Chain A
Amino acid sequence: MIPETGQFALILALLVALTQSVVPLMGAAARDPARMALARPAALAQFLLIAISFGALMACYVTSDFSVLNVAENSHTDKPLLYKISGVWGNHEGSMLLWVLILSLYGAAVALFGGNLPAPLRARVLSVQGMISVGFLLFILLTSNPFTRLDPAPVNGNGLNPLLQDPGLAFHPPFLYLGYVGFSMAFSFAIAALIEGRVDAAWARWVRPWTLAAWCALTLGIAMGSWWAYYTLGWGGWWYWDPVENASFMPWLAGTALLHSAIVVEKRDALRGWTILLAILTFSLSLLGTFLVRSGILTSVHSFASDPARGVFVLALLGICTGGSLFLFALRAGKLVGGGLFAPISREGALLINNVLLSTAAGTVLLGTLYPLIADALDLGKLSVGPPFFNTVFLPLMIPMVLLMALGPFLSWKRGDLAGALSRLKFVFAAAIVVAIASWLLAGGSSGPLWAAGGIALSAWLILGSLLEWVERVRLKSGFWRRVRNTPRAAHGMTLAHLGLGIVIAGITGSTAWKTEHIQVMSIGQSIDVAGYQVTLDGVQDNVPGPNYSALRAQFTARKGGRVIVMHPEKRSYRNPPRPVTSAAISTNFVGDLYVVIGEPDPSGGYVTRLYYNPLAPWIFLGAVVMVFGGLVSLSDRRFRIGAPKRAAAAATAKA
């Protein structure tokens, strides 16, 4: 009964979404308030129906109802409850249901909190959201129904891939989707603006909080995925430039660019066409990511199923969505020219260069990700594009961007004073050089590569530059705390987000350049020196029982100075499905991670072990959290909540 309820609710949601996509749009064209007003209840009803459907699937998982094919294929009674719940989105059908749930959640949020939007704009935005919903609900109902029954029901299920049975990964997909799908809001606003034929500062102020919320969620989602890779894959690597990672990274780059160009539209009414285009491209990259991951043309832990029909369907959706919106853009872009003028050296100019660099970076990542597919299709040979390609292309684009990130906030709008900004930053420059040399010497001088000093200098430049800008902003007048309170939260948010990136850069540099790696066979009782730690293999115990696995469990003791750390890495054998999984033990002191992995037994009686010291590695994830925090602080800016943005009479005309 429960699965049927879920499916029925999903079909009703499709009908509601159809209504939502057609009626308010016609109402807006005819200036009919009654039909426009339908958008809000429709969006809420759609969310409610999809939530019922999602709840039904979750109920099937929690009660282990194996008469549902999806549950039988992906769950097992002996899984801990957390992984029964996360199993709902640990498979293709369930994760698509989560996708539409989040899509309708954003729609419902506009319906609830969009009270300050003009009625026609709100009707059009919700109508575009409805259209996206229709596409994806059809996709689920026609190609990937999560509620398909299985008769006769098996006694038990196949279980969830043990790699996915991990707290970090349980919440990675929901956050990633909150980000991916969140960019649909910017997209819907962009399409609505194109239909209306006007983009102005008020429009940008409505779009920004949604983009910001999506960006925060996506940043957190990517960081969680990266953290998971770091501690589960057992190599101490946190980013592989895997196509699936790139699929989430491209919308992040484009979304970051969008976040910054929307500021220019809001403050200076310039770059309007470009911002609309970015909104379209960001969501298209999200859809492309969904296609790459869902179509199964990439083999990885993320591609659950390789059913060609699904790939074709998502590709068709991508084609309609991107093609249609770019066509609309081409028709209407002529109306968007104009806006505030500015000199190349100005805040707008800096933000523009940031946009150019970010979108170029997104473009090169796109090329590198798709090139193997293109080469295969054109019969140019089978090849892979790996980290060397991305590092060669990506870093030269990011270095000028980071240099500019500290400088940009010192330039004023419209016409900036480059010499003045540089002279204010000259102590930051000197300090960055000093920090770089000091940390390079501290890390053992020539034992590390020379570029590491450059990475640290870049990080220090960004961190100190952002701090200096913040200090100058708040201490201008007497009454420090009043200044801090009176500064717009968006400004604090920017400082924090830029600081966070600086911390991430330090983490990346440190963990890449100064990593220590020891791979060897260790016998019981043997000690090895790893970056100042004396690490001893105390013993190994076999067949340690876990909830749904048994483990080979080792005990290591690490000693440094007076400190003693006991660590327990495991090599687990899961029962359902039967699969070995390595579980590393990590001990962090926030400056570096000691990372210990136990491997296969050796004929000599010892064990193959891998011991790493990853300096500054925790900073990568810490920095990402600071960036997200900055985003949230900015999101709490009162300008987004009260003082409903009013459209200036002058900007209201389409001509501008």
Chain B
Amino acid sequence: MTRKQRRLYFVLLGMLALGGATALVLTAMGDTLVYFYTPSEMAGKQIGPDRRVRVGGLVEQGTVRKDGSTVTFTITDLTSTLPATYTGVLPDLFREGQGVVAEGKVGRDGVLHASEVLAKHDEKYMPKEVADQLKKSGRWQEGAGQERAETAK
């Protein structure tokens, strides 16, 4: 094998890897990207029942109902709301009035069937997207996170 042949082999191998990886990435990106929406954005969208979405907002006060290990609650961004249901044990920091991100599919009943509920590790935490949305709609208060933590205790 001469140097020229070897170089050709290297280049072919590299192109094969690059091409294969691109094909894989493009296929995967088409199916698996999960977009983040607020309840207001969800209201104006038609999302197929097979599409996974993430919805973030606050857990609306007084909407959490537990039935055995199934929980229903409403996610709000103080403009629109979206009902959600989840079966399983909620994260330790899941509380009414606190920030939450639920990931799942919206069924024909208009309810978000969440397979995953995230309430992050910090009780002052509010999902960045939710904070942005609240700032946009002018309902953001500095120190709001702190206050919510106090009332939740």
**Interface residue ranges, A against B (CB under 8 Å):** 161, 163, 234, 299-301, 338, 341-344, 352-353, 356-357, 360, 363-364, 367-368, 371, 381-386, 388-389, 392-393, 396-397, 519-521, 571, 578-582, 597, 599-600, 602-603, 608, 610
Contact = CB atoms under 8 A, between A and B. Distances in A.
Contacts of B93: 579-580
Contacts of A300: 120-121
Contact of A392 (B3, B24, B89): B24
Given A342-B1, A384-B36, A389-B32, A299 B120 contact: yes
A53 B119 CA distance: 37
A582 B34 contact: no
A383 B35 contact: yes
A598 B32 CA distance: 32
Most buried by A among B14, B88, B93: B88
A352 B69 contact: no
A386 B35 CA distance: 11
A386 B32 contact: yes
B125 A344 contact: no
Contacts of A234: 89
B148 to A, nearest CB: 13
A388 B28 contact: yes
Contact of A603 (B3, B66, B125): B66
A385 B32 contact: yes
The secondary structure that dominates the B interface is mixed
The 6 A-B residue pairs with the shortest CB-CB distance, nearest first, are A388-B32, A382-B36, A392-B28, A580-B92, A599-B89, A389-B32
Given A353-B13, A384-B36, A161 B3 contact: no
B31 interface: yes
Contact of B24 (A338, A364, A385, A608): A364
Given A301-B121, A356-B13, A389 B66 contact: no
17 contacts: A161-B121, A299-B125, A299-B127, A341-B6, A344-B9, A353-B13, A360-B20, A368-B25, A382-B36, A384-B33, A384-B36, A384-B54, A386-B32, A386-B103, A393-B24, A519-B88, A578-B123
Contacts of A397: 20-21, 24
B153 interface: yes
Interface in B7-52: 9-10, 13-14, 17-18, 20-21, 24-25, 27-29, 31-37
A579 B17 CA distance: 47
B34 A386 contact: yes
Contacts of B120: 299-300
Contact of A578 (B31, B34, B153): B153
Most buried by B among A301, A343, A360: A360
Contacts of B14: 356
A168 B29 CA distance: 35
B72 interface: no
Nearest to A297: B128
A341 B3 contact: yes
Nearest to A389: B32
Given A344-B1, A579-B123, 6 more contacts: A343-B1, A360-B21, A381-B36, A384-B36, A389-B28, A602-B66
B133 to A, nearest CB: 10
A383 B3 contact: no
B81 interface: no
A29 B123 CA distance: 57
B35 A382 contact: yes
Contacts of A352: 10, 13
A88 to B, nearest CB: 20
A360 B19 CA distance: 10
A8 B36 CA distance: 48
A603 B68 CA distance: 9
Contacts of B25: 364, 367-368, 393
A396 to B, nearest CB: 6
Nearest to B128: A299
B90 interface: yes
Most buried by A among B1, B121, B123, B129: B121
Given A341-B3, A356-B13, A393-B24, A388 B123 contact: no
Interface string B115-144: 000001111010111000000000000000
B68 A392 contact: no
B125 A383 contact: no
Contacts of B28: 388-389, 392-393
Contacts of B121: 161, 163, 300-301
Contacts of A356: 13-14, 17
Contacts of B20: 360, 396-397
A392 B21 contact: no
Nearest to A353: B13
Contacts of B17: 356-357, 360
A301 B18 CA distance: 34
Contacts of A597: 89
B89 A519 contact: yes
A234 B92 CA distance: 10
Contacts of B92: 571, 579-582
A382 B88 contact: no
B21 A521 contact: no
Contacts of A382: 35-37, 129
Contact of B69 (A341, A580, A608): A608
Contacts of B89: 234, 519, 597, 599-600, 608, 610
A389 B128 CA distance: 22
Interface string B65-93: 01011000000000000000001111011
B69 to A, nearest CB: 5
B31 A521 contact: no
A388 B115 CA distance: 14
A599 B94 CA distance: 12
B87 to A, nearest CB: 7
Nearest to A384: B34
A371 B30 CA distance: 13
Nearest to A582: B92
Contacts of A578: 123, 153
A192 to B, nearest CB: 26
A352 B16 CA distance: 13
B31 A388 contact: yes
Nearest to B124: A577
Nearest to A521: B68
A392 B90 contact: no
